[in-house]
Structure 1
Amino acid sequence: MRYLKARDWNLDLAEKLLRGTVEWRKTYKPSLIDCRWCHEKPGFHSLRQIGFDELGRPVLYCCFAQATVHKYSIEDAVAHCAYTFESAIGSMAPNVHSWVLVLDCSGMTLPACSPKLGYGVTQILANHYPEQLGQVLCVNHNALFEGVWKAIKAFLHPNTASKMRLVRGKRKVKDAFEKFFPPELSEWLNEEVLLNRKKPLIPSQQFFWRKPEVHPHDPRGCPSYVAEYLDCRKENHRIHPNIVDELKGRICQAITIEREEAPYDADSSDDGESEIVGKIPIKDEFQIPSGASQITM
């Protein structure tokens, strides 16, 4: 049904899409993939599941400021996303078929979220996880992200683009969390976002895969998620690779590196698009390839 809906109920196109996914799953084996980048360098990716929304959909959270690197390739991004998506699917109740992504742009840099990278990851979503991205809530977006979003949006079906909500400003972000998530998760997200805006990050936020020793906020996820999925491991749900390593006592110390800051202050309460967007040059290496096709998720 998801494949039919993704192709506007065209049976031939839906069949082609489904056959492509079957072949991809045979060769890529997403249900077995692991993120070697995170194992080799803890915190390489910050994307992780942190709870569920009011509809029971898994909620994923990603913050650029927490990552220990600031440049990604399509290969490592797709691997970590596939790992996380498969994990989210494993935590879904029988009547749930999609997930929600909260994208925290604090600390974002162009190499970490370029149009080319975004398009590559979006292709995987569209081709092999159609209709499973329920909503994206992008908070603290800056002028750099707005430029990237404009580039990617041009290739998205209007229905797909409508799933993205951009929210900026402490009050508006807090209101959005309260609107879309249950109280426990809303409170967790609000605290997580506020802590991730601090410079420098406090240790418990830098090492987000660790259970905090002093600070009351647990960056691994909201209390009910931690209790059900981290304290009591479930066979069909794979948590963030570094949380796995930490729980098994085999993680090494993460290395702090220089982070390239985005050329715009994301603390602005203005939810409109910044005039700075047009002044930010995007190098060819970060651009979406010419001849790229439209994407429907």
Structure 2
Amino acid sequence: MASEKEQLISELRRRISNVEPLPEEPDFATSEETLARYLKSRDWKLDEAEKLLRNTIEYRRKTRPLHSDCVWCHDRPGYHSMRQVGFDEVGRPVIYSNFAQAATHRNTMEDSICHVIYLIENAKITMKPGISTWVFIIDCTGMTLNSCNPKLGYGVTQILANHYPERLGMVLCINHSPVFHGVWKAIKVFLHQNTVVKMKMIRSKRKIAQTFSKYFSDELSDWMLAEIKVNKQRPLPRSQACFWNGPSDTGSHDPRGCQSYVAQFIETFPLNSRVPMKRVHKPHPNIVDSLAGNVEIVQASPDEIRERTRAETEAVTCSDSDDEIQDGEHDLTISEEFQIPHDAVHLST
């Protein structure tokens, strides 16, 4: 006899069967993996899961995320630094970002959502059977409220909660400052507790190394520690600001990702895959541009230079202390333009 959860999956599949399949993803709505994720995200409440899944089907039909691309990065190389760099020990894609590397420190909801959708849709292509979640590493070095604030964070999280439920495996936030702590404090009250516990904030060099060793291979751990270290240099080395290019010297640090990821997904990337016959994983948009030899050359504007200087000034030095920032310590005053609307809804996992 089928278990109660199996019965719920079968019933949700039956209810969704009258929905027109997505042309490029005909099995998306009826696959067991999708059905189970949507039910789990709604605590196995059938009506709520059905509503959420129907909304996602129409969202994907309208936005066609399989064709997503980040025009902001193509037009302004390095507009976003977030990129896949490897996999954790169980095979989950690892996505890394560092605010100091970004070409701009003024992000909007539109450009942030676009870039994240591009990354996670392409990360899905690299996931082996049985893997359904991903890992984010947020290096807060160089973070300002213009580049990450409660309103922006809530908007991106809302899209993920509504249309990519139960996809988040873990978030490692490192080198976090009082600015990030204030942003997190404002956002987390709107999140499901299951999401909150997936956030791990780490400040000390010792704990960062221990955490990487726990979840990542030696290869990825070594790459991450090297990447974090060099991204703290002031001024930021050009090789890190132009993280889409491979190293000029053999054996030098490669900011595009760990060696195994680079070998499997960058060095073998087919340059005609912008419109592929078969979907292939696309790395960061500027890595694709660099491989094709058509990265735009753009001079930093006075505003960008001022923002970068400010970010470097406010950068947090990785501490040897294991003490975390406590609630009430360094309370942050957030202007109204960056605040989450008072009528915002609480989000699911």
Fold-level similarity (TM above 0.5): yes
- Name the residue aligned to 2:197: 162
Q: In 2 relative to 1, CA 66–281 (structure 1 residues): closer, same or farther, beyond 3 Å?
A: same
Aligned match of 1:120 in 155, 158, 166? 155
Instruction: Return the offset for 1:174.
Output: 1.2
- Name the residue aligned to 2:113: 78
- Name the residue aligned to 1:171: 206
> Cα deviations across residues 43-86 of structure 1 (Å, max 9, x unaligned)?
00011100011111100001000000001110000000000010
- Name the residue aligned to 1:47: 82
Give 3-state SS (helix, strand or coil) of 1:101's partner.
strand
Structural RMSD (CA) = 1.5
Amino acid of the structure 2 residue aligned with 1:98: T
Residue 283 of structure 1 pairs with residue 318 of structure 2:
no
Give 3-state SS (helix, strand or coil) of 1:112's partner.
coil
Instruction: Return the offset for 1:181.
Output: 0.5
Instruction: Return the offset for 1:29.
Output: 1.3
- Counterparts of 1:35-114 in structure 2 under 5 Å? 35-114=70-149
* Residue pair 1:68, 1:254 contacting (<8 A) in 2 also: no
- Name the residue aligned to 1:273: 325
1:240 & 1:264 partners in 2: Cα distance? 24
* Residue pair 2:41, 2:348 contacting (<8 A) in 1 also: yes
* Residue pair 1:144, 1:264 contacting (<8 A) in 2 also: no
1:72 & 1:166 partners in 2: Cα distance? 23
Give the number of the structure with larger relative contact order, counting CA–CA contacts within 8 Å between residues 6 or more apart: 1
> Cα deviations across residues 239-287 of structure 1 (Å, max 9, x unaligned)?
1100000000000234343313275734333541155531x32110000
**Identity percentage over the alignment?**
51
- Name the residue aligned to 1:218: 254
- Name the residue aligned to 2:165: 130
Instruction: Return the offset for 1:198.
Output: 1.2
Q: In 2 relative to 1, CA 56–222 (structure 1 residues): closer, same or farther, beyond 3 Å?
A: same
2:148 & 2:224 partners in 1: Cα distance? 21
- Return 136-145 or 261-270, whichever deviates more: 261-270
- Name the residue aligned to 2:26: none
2:322 & 2:182 partners in 1: Cα distance? 16
* Residue pair 1:60, 1:100 contacting (<8 A) in 2 also: yes
- Name the residue aligned to 2:47: 12
Amino acid of the structure 1 residue aligned with 2:264: E
1:270 & 1:282 partners in 2: Cα distance? 27
Amino acid of the structure 2 residue aligned with 1:219: P
- Name the residue aligned to 2:292: 248
Give 3-state SS (helix, strand or coil) of 1:121's partner.
helix
Instruction: Return the offset for 1:170.
Output: 1.5
Question: Unaligned stretches of 5+ in structure 1?
Answer: none
Give 3-state SS (helix, strand or coil) of 1:100's partner.
strand
Q: In 2 relative to 1, CA 212–263 (structure 1 residues): closer, same or farther, beyond 3 Å?
A: closer
2:133 & 2:167 partners in 1: Cα distance? 4
Residue 184 of structure 1 pairs with residue 219 of structure 2:
yes
* Residue pair 1:143, 1:264 contacting (<8 A) in 2 also: no
- Return 140-149 or 267-276, whichever deviates more: 267-276
* Residue pair 1:104, 1:138 contacting (<8 A) in 2 also: yes
Number of aligned residues: 296
Give 3-state SS (helix, strand or coil) of 1:31's partner.
helix
Instruction: Return the offset for 1:233.
Output: 1.8
TM-score (norm 2): 0.82
- Return 211-220 or 188-197, whichever deviates more: 211-220
> Cα deviations across residues 147-185 of structure 1 (Å, max 9, x unaligned)?
000000110111110000000021211111111111100
Amino acid of the structure 2 residue aligned with 1:273: I
TM-score (norm 1): 0.96
* Structure having the higher Rg: 2
* Residue pair 2:143, 2:315 contacting (<8 A) in 1 also: no
Question: Unaligned stretches of 5+ in structure 2?
Answer: 1-35, 271-278
> Cα deviations across residues 186-236 of structure 1 (Å, max 9, x unaligned)?
110011011111111111111000011137100000000000000112742
